[in-house]
Amino acid sequence: MDDIRVPIYLITGFLESGKTTFLNFTLQQDYFSIDGKTLLILCEEGEEEYDMDKLKLTNTVVEVIEDEEDLTPQRLAAMDIIHQPERVVIEYNGMWLVSKFEEMELPEGWGVEQQITCVDATTYQVYMANMKSQFMDMIKNTDMVVFNRCKEGDPLPAYRRGIKVANQGAEVIFEDEEGELDDIFQDEMPFDIDAPVIQIAPEDYGIWFVDAMDHPDKYAGKTVNFKGRVMKPRGMGSKFFVPGRVAMTCCADDTTFLGYICRSDNASHIKEGSWVDVTAKVAFEYRTEYQDEGIVLYASEATPCEPLKDEMVYFN
């Protein structure tokens, strides 16, 4: 939104996911300071508390909304008149659907500048097992996911892939008690990335797809082989198709197709919905379909094959 006068920083996450700790730290940092007033809207009360004296030093005023039905356009408009904030920070309740806030009419000039989701790594798998649809609603449009309280041995690459299938554009950060973790993906790939032809087994397709999206430099110029179902979106041209697989986001009825654009001289003879065994050289270049640079496959072979018994992509 180019006409945002009052940027909103929306901080989401389940109870005790580290939202307050994150905001307590961020609001005190020089890089986040402004001359005008910050309106901090608290929609959830956890164990961590704010230091009100420090908030006053940063010209931050606090409003508390305890019930979801009280978070209304009228209430926000009243806050805008009373406080006339230069920016708004919202610590959102993890049990409220973020999509409802996204659909809400905001005061004139207000707009979401950034959404950040905090995740407690120690409880992530429990929430994914029991409240997956709620979590997916939370992260589908987020800009950044911060996993905190990470420990040695946590399956962090799998956590990251789970986020990326729902929101490919989200930045994913991992932190332990000492700060940000680096190099969590070293020596983690289940295939030989230095082989003349990188063989992507069906069970490893999701791992390769996300890794190639995040680290295209690792694959550019290399050759890969995998099996995928064919999609042929309109307007791509007769020499292009998209081989890929289906991944489940929050439930069996909510899936997304994961695939990269592929050029093949044989593309016009490949039927939509059929399965192909693809051997292709990987490039990283601009495509209008991506509206940016992205992975493009140049197939030396794209031959029909039998469908996989399980089309679904997994990220473990």
Residue 261 belongs to a domain with what CATH number?
Answer: 2.40.50.140
Same-domain status, 126 and 15: yes
Exposure of 168 in the CB half-sphere (CA atoms within 13 A): 16
Provide the domain limits for residue 104.
6-180
Q: What are the pLDDT digits (tens) for 113-143?
A: 999 999 999 999 999 889 988 999 999 999 9
What pLDDT was estimated at residue 185?
Answer: 53
Asked whether residue 227 carries a pLDDT value surpassing 50, the answer given is yes
**pLDDT tens per residue across span 166-213:** 887 888 999 987 777 665 555 468 899 999 999 999 988 988 998 899
Residue that finishes a domain, picked among 115, 149, 180: 180
**Beta strand pairing status for 240-251 and 292-304?**
unpaired
**What are the tokens at 288?**
């209008």
What is the C-alpha separation between 251 and 133, in angstroms, rounded? 7
> What percent of the chain shows pLDDT beyond 70?
94
Distance from C-alpha of 245 to C-alpha of 32, rounded to nearest angstrom: 41
Q: What CATH number is attached to the domain comprising 110?
A: 3.40.50.300
What digits encode the pLDDT tens for the residues 45-80? 877 889 888 999 999 999 999 999 999 999 999 999
Q: Is residue 191 part of a domain?
A: no
Q: Which residues of 204-221 are buried (b: 16+ CB within 10 A; e: fewer)?
A: bbbbbbbbbbeebeebee
- Nearest 5°: the CA angle 201, 245, 288 is 115
Query: Can you tell me the mean pLDDT for 96-109?
Result: 96
Give the pLDDT score at 160: 85
Number of domains in the chain: 2
Same domain flag for 15 and 115: yes
Q: Is pLDDT of 9 > 90?
A: yes
Q: Are 229 and 148 part of one and the same domain?
A: no
Tell me how far apart the alpha carbons of residues 227 and 241 are, in angstroms, rounded to a whole number. Answer: 14
Identify the pLDDT of residue 1: 47
Under a CB-based contact definition with an 8 Å cutoff, are residues 206 and 258 in contact? yes
For range 303-313, the mean pLDDT: 90
| Same domain as 280, residue 151 | no
CA angle 310-312-315, nearest 5°? 120
Cα separation, 208 vs 161, in Å, equals 10
- Rounded CA-CA distance 128/282 in Å is 33
pLDDT score for 225: 98
In a domain, 192, yes or no: no
The pLDDT tens digits for 259-268 are 999 999 999 9
Q: Are residues 149 and 247 in the same domain?
A: no
Gap between the Cα atoms of 123 and 272, Å rounded: 41
Who has greater pLDDT, 155 or 275? 275
Quick one: 174 and 275 in the same domain? no
265-280 per-position pLDDT tens digit: 999 999 999 999 999 9
Does one domain contain both 91 and 19? Answer: yes
CA distance 277 to 288: 26
The confidence score (pLDDT) of residue 247 equals: 85
Residue of higher predicted confidence among 291 and 244? 244
